[in-house]
């Protein structure tokens, strides 16, 4: 059975003729640099998901009960972990395969949490604060980076046992700063510098030999600051710099295709990794992503609210066929979840949601965690609009705590 995890973090985007994005997966600003994979989760109430037998299973931290909730469509109740020995409200954490274990951070320490018994197992204490994590949960490969850019490579079993690990310094050599990176489907870690140098690292060989084992790539790009894998391709990757986005043949070290926007743009990894920008002359949004071929895919949506609107978007999630988004509440409008089809710009789903709900997307569903000590979760299918509610799952625990 194959599982795929999708890490979500809250972002704020302004839909105007200039598109701005906080650092959730990279942007064309200097603040997005030095991130391998994704920045660690700073919002433990944000829901994420993994694919289980073709169905999304959501998971998120419950600050009222100090435990992890796991829920999927079709279930009759919320699955919950034990009360965790280390509350995640101030820590960054993310799941392992199928929710069988969770990584978490406490200060500079990395450890795993067992959701069944709440046990904590220490893995490593870093010299600095942990900043970002890249993972391939199908292969059990992880790369964890601290503020000094020490990189710890790990192989981990599906049950959460660390099978091997090794920590190295900046791979590209003294004086060369690693600007970004990610684990590709073939089990290799691609890192780039802010100059023209990249390295394709063999993760398992580097751990086995306790030294960086890599192939150096010299790309005709400067200011590289973002790397993303392409699903289904072990020999392709996306790289962005201050000018635009590029499809790279990582074996030959060549650029196969590129898109250079004329104005401000952003890149991110929520859902399908992509670049987007506003095409001012044509009053439309352009989304650029990778494909299994040798060209980039450009999709567009009209700016239906008008070029001068100031609609705010809290979260966006891109799929092959849809843009899923959450708009912020304004003076005249409520907070709203939208799903727009790329083929004809049809808004197939639109629903107002509470301003205090924490929300996560999968490709075709969203989950909302409403502020309630007793517990309140809803899952809505974005294609059929069918809903499922889970309420009161904290009642027993709260009663026991009061005794």
Residues 6+ away with beta carbon under 8 Å from 377? 69, 71, 78, 367, 368, 369, 370, 389, 390, 391, 393
- Say if CB 229 and CB 203 are below 8 A apart: no
- In this predicted structure, the answer to whether residue 2 has a pLDDT above a threshold of 80 is no
Residue 331 pLDDT: 76
- Say if CB 2 and CB 51 are below 8 A apart: yes
- In this predicted structure, the answer to whether residue 379 has a pLDDT above a threshold of 70 is yes
Structural domains of the chain, ranges and CATH numbers in brackets: 5-402 (2.130.10.10)
Write out the two tokens for 153.
């490579």
What value does the mean pLDDT take over residues 4-10?
35
Residue 201 pLDDT: 95
What value does the mean pLDDT take over residues 152-157?
94
d(C-alpha 146, C-alpha 35), whole Å: 10
- Say if CB 194 and CB 225 are below 8 A apart: yes
Q: Which pairs count as long-range contacts for 110-117, CB under 8 Å and 24+ apart, including other chains?
A: 110/144, 110/152, 111/86, 112/160, 112/162, 113/68, 113/81, 113/84, 113/85, 113/86, 114/160, 115/68, 115/70, 115/81, 115/82, 116/81, 116/82, 117/82
DSSP state of 271: B
Mean pLDDT check: name the lowest of 196-210, 244-258, 260-274, 322-336: 322-336
d(C-alpha 292, C-alpha 233), whole Å: 6
Which tens digit of pLDDT belongs to each residue from 99-146? 678 888 877 888 888 777 777 889 999 999 888 899 888 889 999 998
DSSP state of 28: S
Which tens digit of pLDDT belongs to each residue from 170-183? 777 666 778 899 99
Confidence of residue 247 (pLDDT cuts 50, 70, 90): very high
Rg, Å, the chain Cα set = 21
CA distances from 366 to 15, 26, 222, 253, 279 (A): 22, 23, 38, 38, 29
d(C-alpha 157, C-alpha 349), whole Å: 39
Confidence of residue 310 (pLDDT cuts 50, 70, 90): very low
What percent of the chain lies above the pLDDT cut of 90? 39
What percent of the chain lies above the pLDDT cut of 70? 83
Confidence of residue 195 (pLDDT cuts 50, 70, 90): confident
Sheet order of strands, 48-52 included: 5-6, 48-52, 55-62, 67-72, 79-80
What value does the mean pLDDT take over residues 208-217?
94
d(C-alpha 165, C-alpha 305), whole Å: 51
pTM above 0.75, yes or no: yes
- Token pair 């004809």 is found at 344
- Say if CB 77 and CB 84 are below 8 A apart: no
């Amino acid at each position: 059975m194959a599982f795929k995890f999708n890490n979500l973090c809250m972002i704020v985007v302004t839909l105007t003729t200039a598109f701005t994005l906080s650092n959730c997966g990279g942007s064309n600003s200097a603040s997005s640099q030095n991130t391998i994979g994704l920045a660690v989760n700073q919002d433990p109430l944000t829901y994420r998901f993994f694919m289980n037998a073709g169905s999304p299973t959501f998971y998120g931290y419950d600050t009222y009960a100090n435990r992890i909730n796991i829920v999927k469509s079709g279930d009759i109740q919320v699955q919950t972990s034990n009360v965790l020995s280390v509350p995640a409200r101030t820590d960054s954490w993310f799941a392992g395969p199928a929710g069988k274990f969770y990584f978490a951070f406490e200060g500079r320490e990395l450890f795993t949490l067992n959701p069944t018994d709440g046990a904590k197992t220490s893995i490593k204490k870093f010299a600095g604060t942990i900043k970002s994590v890249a993972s391939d949960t199908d292969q059990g490969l992880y790369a964890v980076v601290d503020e000094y850019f020490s990189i710890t490579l790990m192989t981990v079993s599906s049950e959460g046992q660390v099978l091997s690990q090794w920590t190295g310094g900046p791979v590209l050599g003294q004086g060369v700063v690693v600007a970004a990176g990610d684990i590709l489907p073939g089990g290799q870690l691609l890192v780039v510098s802010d100059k023209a140098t990249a390295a394709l690292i063999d993760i398992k060989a580097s751990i086995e030999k306790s030294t960086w084992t890599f192939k150096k790539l010299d790309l005709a790009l400067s200011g590289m600051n973002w790397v993303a894998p392409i699903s289904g391709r072990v020999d392709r990757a996306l790289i962005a710099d201050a000018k635009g986005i590029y499809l790279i043949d990582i074996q030959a070290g060549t650029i196969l295709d590129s898109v250079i926007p004329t104005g401000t743009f952003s890149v991110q990894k929520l859902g399908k990794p992509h670049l987007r920008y506003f095409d001012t002359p044509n009053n439309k949004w352009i989304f650029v992503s990778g494909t299994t071929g040798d060209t980039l895919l450009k999709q567009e949506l009209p700016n239906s609210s008008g070029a001068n609107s100031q609609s705010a978007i809290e979260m966006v999630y891109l799929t092959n066929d849809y843009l899923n988004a959450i708009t912020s509440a304004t003076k005249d409008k409520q907070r709203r979840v939208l799903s727009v089809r790329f083929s004809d710009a049809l808004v197939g789903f639109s629903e107002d949601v509470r301003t205090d709900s924490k929300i996560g997307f999968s490709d075709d569903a969203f989950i909302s965690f409403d502020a309630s000590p007793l517990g309140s979760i809803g899952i809505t299918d974005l294609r059929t609009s069918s809903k499922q509610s889970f309420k009161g799952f904290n009642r027993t625990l709260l009663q026991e705590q009061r005794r």
